[in-house]
Structure 1
Amino acid sequence: MTMRALHPDIPALMQALRDAGVPSLGSVPPAVARAGYTASRRRLQPPLAPVSAITEHAIPRVGEPLRARLYRGGETGQSQPCLVFLHGGGWVLGSIESHEGLCRHLAHRAGCAVLAVDYRLAPEHPHPAAMEDSVLALSWVAANAASLGLDAARLAVGGDSAGGNLAAVLALLGRDGLAPPVMFQLLLYPATDLARAYDDDPGMSPDIPLTTQAMRYFIEHYVPDPHARAGWQASPLRAASLTGAPPAFVLTCGHDPLHDEGRLYAARLEREGVPVMALHVSDQVHGILNLGGAVTAAGMILDMAAAAL
Structure 2
Amino acid sequence: MPHRSVAFSRHAMPIDNRVRTLLDMLSRVEAPRLHDQPVEYARRNFHKLLFAYRGEAPEGVAMEALEIARRDFAGGPLAARLYKPEAATGPLPVFVWLHGGGWTLGDLAGYEVLCQHFSALAGSAVLALDYRLAPENPFPAALEDVWHCLKWLRREGAGLGLDAQRIALGGDSAGGNLAAVACLMAREAGDLPIRLQVLVYPSTDQTSTRCSHTLYGEGHFLDRASIGWFQHNYLPADADKLDWRASPLLASDFHNLPPALVLTAECDPLTDDAKAYAERLQAAGVSCIYREVEGMIHGFLTMPRLFEEATWSVAEIAAALRAALQP
TM superposition score normalised by structure 2 = 0.89
Work out whether 1:231 is the aligned partner of 2:240.
Answer: no
Instruction: Give ranges in structure 1 of 5+ residues lacking alignment.
Output: none
Q: Aligned-pair distance for 1:229?
A: 1.2
RMSD of aligned residue pairs (Cα, Å)? 1.9
Give 3-state SS (helix, strand or coil) of 1:99's partner.
helix
Match of 2:4 in 1: none
**Structure 2 CA distance for partners of 1:16 and 1:44, relative to 1, 3 Å:** farther
Greater mean alpha carbon deviation, residues 196-205 or residues 93-102: 196-205
Amino acid at match of 1:226: D
Runs of 4+ in 1 over 6 A off after TM superposition: none
Q: Aligned-pair distance for 1:56?
A: 0.5
Match of 2:32 in 1: 23
Work out whether 1:42 is the aligned partner of 2:89.
Answer: no
Amino acid at match of 2:174: A
State the identity %: 37
Find 1:285's aligned residue among 291, 297, 305: 297
Work out whether 1:272 is the aligned partner of 2:265.
Answer: no
User: How far, CA to CA, are the matches of 2:314 and 2:280 in structure 1?
Assistant: 23
Match of 2:196 in 1: 184
Aligned residues: 309
User: How far, CA to CA, are the matches of 2:60 and 2:102 in structure 1?
Assistant: 28
Work out whether 1:242 is the aligned partner of 2:254.
Answer: yes
Find 1:162's aligned residue among 164, 167, 174: 174
Amino acid at match of 1:152: A
Instruction: Give ranges in structure 2 of 5+ residues lacking alignment.
Output: 1-9, 322-327
Q: Aligned-pair distance for 1:24?
A: 2.1
Higher helix share: 2
Q: Aligned-pair distance for 1:10?
A: 0.3
TM superposition score normalised by structure 1 = 0.94
Work out whether 1:6 is the aligned partner of 2:18.
Answer: no
User: How far, CA to CA, are the matches of 2:157 and 2:145 in structure 1?
Assistant: 18
Q: Is the CA contact (8 Å cut-off) linking 2:81 and 2:127 kept in structure 1?
A: yes
**Structure 2 CA distance for partners of 1:294 and 1:224, relative to 1, 3 Å:** same
Match of 2:111 in 1: 99
Greater mean alpha carbon deviation, residues 172-181 or residues 61-70: 172-181
Work out whether 1:208 is the aligned partner of 2:217.
Answer: no
Match of 2:324 in 1: none
Q: Aligned-pair distance for 1:195?
A: 2.4
User: How far, CA to CA, are the matches of 1:162 and 1:197 in structure 2?
Assistant: 18
User: How far, CA to CA, are the matches of 1:259 and 1:200 in structure 2?
Assistant: 6
Give 3-state SS (helix, strand or coil) of 1:191's partner.
coil
